[in-house]
Amino acid sequence: MLKTRVIPCLQLIGEGLVKTIKFKNPSYIGDPINTVRIFNELEVDELCFLDIRASQENRQPPFEMLQQIANECFMPLSYGGGLKDFEAAKRIMSIGFEKLVINTQAWRQTDLITKLSGHFGAQAVVGSIDVKKNFLGKYQVYINDGVDKIDMDVVTWAKKLESAGAGEILLTSMDKDGTWSGFDVDLTKKVADAVTVPVIANGGAGSLAHISEVVKKGNASAVCLGSMVVYQQKGMGVLVNFPDKIKLASALA
């Protein structure tokens, strides 16, 4: 197992696996169940599934498919998308997922974070923050799959999520998502230095050097990979994969 967690972060729209670029133009990747089977063979340590349109489309998580994923998967699982209340979250955990990723509802009802943390433990609750720069270069936080901007600074919001009971922060750069251009290291460091809980950097990974940089310079405790684990290379076809673990360990050493 790697010292630094490197987590495939897989985007869903309902029951299909997709990949976006800057939160737009989702491209179909394939069947989530087959993808899980490949990651089982690759002995990945952890998987994250995010239904990116569930909140925007005001629908429940795809429970039946998530049950199939949990039945098939050998590694710890986290899920986010459409978790509007305690009962939906409880159902996800009863299916066999270990962590709940809360984004939109964390803003709409912050006490949900506290309730979930109190019941399942802080280690099971991940506060998710989506961030985009405005034309002046200022970081702004968005919810509802990048549609609605909230009136709070990213560092302030991260601290509030931590205080509410989130045991981790999933920090996604909307500008970097799907670009293969590297993580937003400055954003990651800004948030990681402000909170005591682990920060998971997400958005932009394109190489082992990018992973190393965001951990060593951005102080990320873990990283999520999207395009890197579902495509052969930038601009090439679908190929579910994972970086060579020896090379990955060397890059993170």
Query: Which two structure tokens, joined as six digits, stand for 251?
Result: 């890059």
Q: How many Å apart are CA 137 and CA 245, to the nearest integer?
A: 36
C-beta of residue 102 within 8 angstroms of C-beta of residue 116? yes
130 tagged catalytic? yes
Q: How many Å apart are CA 197 and CA 232, to the nearest integer?
A: 33
Reference 47, options 71, 21, 27, 74; nearest CA is 74
- Per the residue annotation, which of 130, 145, 177, 184 is the catalytic one? 130
C-beta of residue 208 within 8 angstroms of C-beta of residue 243? yes
DSSP result, 37-69 = HHHHHTT-S-EEEEETTTTTTT----HHHHHHH
Residue 104 has, within 13 A of its CA and on its CB side, a CA count of 22
End-to-end CA distance of the chain: 13
Query: Which two structure tokens, joined as six digits, stand for 8?
Result: 């495939």
- What sign results for the dihedral spanned by CA atoms 227, 232, 237, 240? negative
For the annotated catalytic residues, the residue numbers are 130
